[in-house]
Structure 1
Amino acid sequence: MSDGQFLSLNLTQWVGSSHRMKDMSSRILRPVFLALILISIQGLCSIASGQFALNVETAYLPGSTKPARVLVDFESQTQFSSYGGWLEQREESTGFFYTTKVGGTWYIVDPDGYLFYSSGINSVVKGGGFKLPDSLQYISCNTMGCWSDESINTGVPNKIAYTPRWNMMLSYKNTSQRTQDLYDKGIIPVFDSQFGTFCLQLSYNEIAPLKNDPYILGHFSDNELPIYDNSTYGYLLDRFLNISSKTDPNFLAADSWMKSRHGSNYTITEADRDEFHGYVMGTYYKIVSTAIKTYDGNHMYLGSRLHGAAKSKPSIFREAGKYVDIISINVYSVWTPSMDDMDMWSGLSGRPFLVTEYYAKAEDSGLDNSSGAGWLVNAQSDRAKFFENFTLALIAHPGSVGYHHFKYIDKETYNTGLVSMSFEWYKPLKNSFNKIGKDIYNLREFMIKGYVGEGIATVYTADSYQDKARLLNEGSYTASSLAALGLTDNSLASLKVKPGFKVILYSDDLFTGSSVEMVGDVPDLDQFAFGLKTTSLKVVASSTGINDQNHESINVALFPNPASNILNIELPETGVPVKLTIFSLIGQPLMIVNDLKGNFSVDISSIEPGTYFVLLSIGNMKVTRKIIITD
């Protein structure tokens, strides 16, 4: 079987699906494809379910490669609402966009009440003879992102959602030399008393006239404010405290905040520096949100398009959640969005998030490409792979409500666009954009429910089956395969394995190094895998009966099981001494026997009835079995 081929098994079951339509109370039957089959192909993975199948392919960068999870193309007859929403799921219709949570998953709701996931492109402009916004909708784009020409919606029958940006802080800092000087030093003058008045006036003049436009997805207040620690400006808190004028309201606010935490003779701590980000941005979001909502109570506030280190500051997200409807984040220097980051963005804020910039640029575009924050890859096909890999990770997270690709058309010197400066489509990226978006809602259901849940094996990134869960089916998972599923090196903490299967954990990539077998439910891999940090793994079927063949073709038999007084162990002669350890379910060693060989028996009558793990250490190989001890 060659790279790119996949095996799928469709188990179609007709089930009742409750469609919460405003004017429908009947239950509709629809097919749900249940089977997930994963196979390993030369270290890569394919996953299939019904019409959806994913491959892990290789993207080529100058001097290196990256794994990229991509979607196998498929036929789709999906129809969308007039706004691009999901006709199968309907909530209350308000005439404007808003957010809701459905079964633990965040969605936007379109003005007609249909669930909506924003598939957007930034900086859309007229030209090239393209009929807009139809050309966007043709490739399954339902949103014009930031910097787009909003007049595209004028006088056309098929309008599209759009996202105006108001530059509230950027405009305010230009009102005086003092505020300009502060901003140039990485200080947003958010504690100026005039800033709130300025935002209210801007909202009255610019936002209020748009309050009845149903095609506004929401408002951005700014873009990429300098509100985080960096090498250019230094620490954010230190910048405020180092303002030369000790009567400046921004110095006074920072100084008062520190005194409230430590008293007059304070010393800055790392905790102060971290929390000050939240204090600054909480103040900003409160002022801006109040101004927007005062003159437009119909539309969502989409935040300020965080970037850089701001996207990793917990205090910002805790405060943002009090005032924004959706967290907006520009993400660069990341090949695959981190599950930990996405969990934080949504979890700490209590709000959904929207990734509003990301892209890759290709050397074969002929452009200089020396500027721009996106990944540099070899070819347009690699740009498409990056887009799919990045976007699929977003779709699979229940806190995500959309993605906006940067951008529609190339810059003069670097390759950011879906179209070139001469308005020619980059076909690989165009096709990938359409492939992801043409059945976005069913794809998202597959991504979320297919990867999170209990399958043959379910692995978790926290003890006791907590935090992120990933379903693994029978197959072999290299480090790159696990990374493509959002599981970074050594991140596994607990797992569950269905009867008849086992998981073999390896300390090194490509199924090398020390190894240990796991069966059943393992709440703490640090204890039960005995310190082995997992880099690659296999999910394999166990043979029936008392013998269980491991990955080294060594037959291990423990019997009887359940056992009462004597436990018999049969091993082939390897010439290597065997160490046997029996552990309780909380990882406490209860019995250790060294220098065993071949077939042997151990007296277990002193161990209380219960369930235990038996570890057999054979050289650098470790084999684990679960046993039950009875009276």
Structure 2
Amino acid sequence: MTLHISSAWLRGDPNVALGPVGANQFRLTTPAEGGGLFVDGERLSPQAWREHAFVTAEAYHESHDVLVLVFAFEDALGRSIAIHYGLLPHVRTTICLPLQALNGDRLFLPRYPGVMQSVLRGDAFVDRETIRAFRISTIPSTTARTVLIANLALSETEPQFDYEAAPYVDELGQLIGRQWDGRIKGPKELRAAWQAEAAELTPAMSDFADWNAYGGWTRLRFDATGYFRTEHDGERWWFVDPDGYALFSAGMDCIHPGGGTRVAGMEHLLPALPEADGEFAEAWQRGEFNFAAANLIALYGSEWWQEWFGRTEQRMKAWGINTIGNWSSPAFIAQSSLPYVWPMYDFPTTAQTIFRDFPDVFDPEYEVHAKRFAEQLHSFQDDRRLIGYFMRNEPHWAFVDSLNLTAHMLRSPLRLRSKTVFLEDVRAKYGDIWQLNAAWRTKFARFEDLLEPELAELTDSPACKRDVDDFNRKLIRRYVEIPAAYCKQTLPHHLNLGMRYAWVSDESILEGCEAFDVFSLNCYAFEPDREHIQWISRKLNKPVMIGEFHFGAADGGLLAYGIRAVATQRERGEAYRYYVESAASLPELIGVHYFQLNDQPVLGRFDGENYQIGAVDVCMMPYPPFAAAMRQTHRDMYGVRTGLIEPFRDCPKEIPKTGF
């Protein structure tokens, strides 16, 4: 059964143009600052939301870049969830939104054919039984946006994805129909550009004559231990390299020979691709085709990887990158002479989770899995180039601001072990149920009512809030401390670099983080948040490092510019200088790692991200203004850190992002 949402049911914001086009079609025009429309709530009853499994629609736009279309829902208690969809221009795209997503259990939704990344934002969940508002909107852009939407409906089944074949990228993986500085016309021009760059790299390495082999600054030395460690010199924190020299870590994430385009669901937009078992077999991996690798295979045949490795190692040293960042090629790390950080995998979990990827941390299996998790570190025992390891990246549960895991746990129908521990804590504190009821202003018949989601009532009494918050902190502390202890036991001489949180929305997130040697977070801004970083560092008495930041530009060959963006490649270089030199001047920060070496594919990586954020493009050629800015920044970095050089002050103008 399908329930079509008539254009007569729609109401637009005051600054939005909304007009019917035909049967089940309408045109939405929003200003540069964004905006949207809402569906008259009286037209869609709770029964309609309950009886259907999907919201579906067809969308088409002719904008200059990716359009981010947002589907948002709000329930009777004011909880809201928004799903952001990235849509390519000049391509008819079918959207399919599973209403099950409103349970909030996943941050990233399934990637349907033709759609770019789909990301969920907002509260922990929305009650489908009481949806009172449904809204469709766009995010801010550089210009007004117009999108044609057809067949907006509630449906019991997924739609058909019938697309016409129309290649969107050329044989090199470049966007068709757009020109930009540095666009390569074909393999012959790529070979000439690749060869011309080689002569420029060796002289550039002389800029870093006062760096040692680890990238440490030879003008400042501490005690050497043979491994990387941290030290506070009385004014600022440092990494200390194995030979004892002070180091500020300037890293590059995802050092790989390009990145793969997911083929499934995007076949209609791809050119003819070579066979997976022929000359270009190494450009295929797990259903993805890597145009960047294929371009080098076309130039160098079986020697392509070694050519890439040699050039990339030269570039890192010529640009002043002194750390191989997260998710980089293990083969590159093995052959390189640069220090590196390592991402651990398979963070311990349990069969049942409290929310998203937050485990039932009081279940005995959590500790069993934590011990097994740490065993992957054994092989690094004597590696002097390893700075440290990240236990995980951006926990999905922490994307919900001010999430209280205890409250969410009590709403869950699952018989979680952590629920039982909470009950035992409350029983021990209050003794009898009447004392609990008096403190919480509740009417429980027995403590065991806390195990039943339909009975586990929480109130706004100070005592209830305090008890729930205290256990929330207890859950997070156990989540951090148990695996951290096993990791340190396995690898005592290397640094635990934390979990690379996306942000820290609440003080409770820091529970247990004293177990880290360095607190890491990803910080997408034009400069690090000085007050926030100082607060974290002082609370934990630990240094902080930034695991990710980036900038994209609108004048390149991609249709999405990332989470932070500027107009030109020159400004992108200035943004890099401003960010890194601001970071180097902050005493609590000891490193920043750029995300990432390569532009993402035009048609999206595995999850649909397709940002122009790389130091190199799909032809493996650098963006000259960006490379020059990196080299200058890193040449001045230690002078800025010690106050000998003023940090770069000219922050470029930001343009609206196209991040999903």
How would you bin the TM-score normalised by the shorter chain?
0.5 to 0.7
Alignment length, in residue pairs? 367
Identical aligned pairs, as a percentage?
22
Letter in 1 for 2:341: T
Find out whether 1:163 has 2:163 as its counterpart.
no
Amino acid at match of 2:327: W
Asked if 1:331 is matched to 2:523, the reply is: yes
Closer/same/farther in 2, CA of residues 214 and 258 from structure 1, 3 Å limit: farther
Aligned to 1:380: 569
1:473-500 deviation digits (Å, cap 9, x = unpaired): xxxxxxxx8999xxxxxxxxxxxxxxxx
Which of the residues 430, 437, 443 maps onto 2:627? 430
1:216 alignment counterpart: 386
CA distance 1:483–1:441, shift in 2 (3 Å) = closer
Read off the aligned partner of 2:495 and give its amino acid letter: M
Q: Deviations over 1:559-602 (max 9, x none)?
A: xxxxxxxxxxxxxxxxxxxxxxxxxxxxxxxxxxxxxxxxxxxx
- Write the mapping of 1:143-222 to structure 2, written as runs, cut at 5 A: 143-156=323-336, 159-169=337-347, 172-173=348-349, 176=351, 178-179=352-353, 182-184=354-356, 187-204=358-375, 206-222=376-392
Instruction: Note if 1:341 corresponds to 2:532.
Output: yes
Note closer, same or farther for the CA distance 1:335–1:62 as it changes in structure 2 (3 Å cut).
farther
TM alignment of 1:471-620, pairs within 5 A: none
Given the superposition, is the C-alpha separation of residues 422 and 271 from structure 1 closer, same or farther in structure 2, using an over 3 Å criterion?
farther
Partner of 2:395: 225
3-state SS of 1:141 partner = coil
Give 1:354-373 correspondences, 5 Å limit: 354-369=545-560, 372=562
Superposed CA deviations along residues 588-631 of structure 1, whole A, max 9, x for unmatched, are xxxxxxxxxxxxxxxxxxxxxxxxxxxxxxxxxxxxxxxxxxxx
| 2:240–2:247 Cα contact (<8 Å) kept | yes
Matched, 1:352 2:543: yes
Partners in 1 of 2:388 and 2:421 — Cα distance? 30
1:140 equivalent in structure 2: 320
SS at match of 1:401: strand
- 1:314 pairs with one of 499, 504, 507: 507
Aligned counterpart for 2:411 among listed residues 224, 227, 242: 242
Map of 1:29 onto structure 2: none
Q: Write out aligned runs for 1:111-122 (5 A).
A: 111-122=242-253
**2-structure distance, mates of 1:356, 1:257:** 37
Q: CA deviation at 1:364?
A: 1.5
Q: CA deviation at 1:183?
A: 4.8
How far apart are 1:254 and its partner, in Å?
4.7
For the 8 Å contact 2:360–2:416, the answer to whether it is kept is no
* Residue 600 of structure 2: aligned partner: 411
Relative to 1, partners in 2 of residues 1:406 and 1:271: Cα closer, same or farther, differing over 3 Å?
Answer: farther
Q: Greater relative contact order (Cα 8 A, min sep 6): structure 1 or 2? A: 2
Confirm whether residue 389 of structure 1 aligns to residue 560 of structure 2: no
- Tell me the distance in 2 between the aligned counterparts of 1:148 and 1:281: 29
CA distance in 1, matches of 2:521, 2:581: 17
Q: Match for residue 547 of structure 1?
A: none
Letter in structure 2 aligned against 1:441: Y
Provide the C-alpha distance between the structure 2 equivalents of 1:80 and 1:257, rounded to a whole number of angstroms. 55
After TM superposition, the score normalised by the length of structure 1 is 0.53
Query: Runs of 5+ in structure 1 lacking a partner?
Result: 1-60, 65-72, 452-480, 485-631
Distance 1:423 1:260 in 2: 63
Q: Say if 1:320 and 1:365 are closer, same or farther in 2 by CA, change over 3 A.
A: same
Shift in alpha-carbon separation, 1:299–1:261, aligned structure 2, 3 A: farther
> Looking at CA atoms only, which structure, 1 or 2, has the larger radius of gyration?
1
- Counterpart of 2:343 in 1: which secondary structure? coil
> Deviation digits for residues 385-427 of structure 1, max 9, x if unmatched?
2222222221111100000011111111211211112211112
Output the amino acid matched with 2:378: A
Deviation at 1:235, TM superposition (A): 4.1
In 2, distance between residues paired with 1:259 and 1:434? Answer: 61
Which stretches in structure 2 are left out of the alignment for 5+ residues?
1-140, 145-203, 258-292, 297-306, 441-458, 602-609, 653-660
Residue 296 (structure 1) aligns with: 491
Q: Distance in 1 between matches of 2:472 and 2:582?
A: 27
The equivalent residue for 2:197 is none
1:289 Cα deviation after fit: 1.3
Asked whether the equivalents of residues 241 and 255 of structure 1 are also in contact (C-alpha less than 8 Å), the reply is: no
1:433 Cα deviation from its structure 2 partner: 1.6
- Per-residue deviation, residues 17-67 of structure 1 (Å, max 9, x unmatched): xxxxxxxxxxxxxxxxxxxxxxxxxxxxxxxxxxxxxxxxxxxx9379xxx
Letter in 2 for 1:80: W
| Paired letter, 2:493 | N
Higher strand proportion: 1
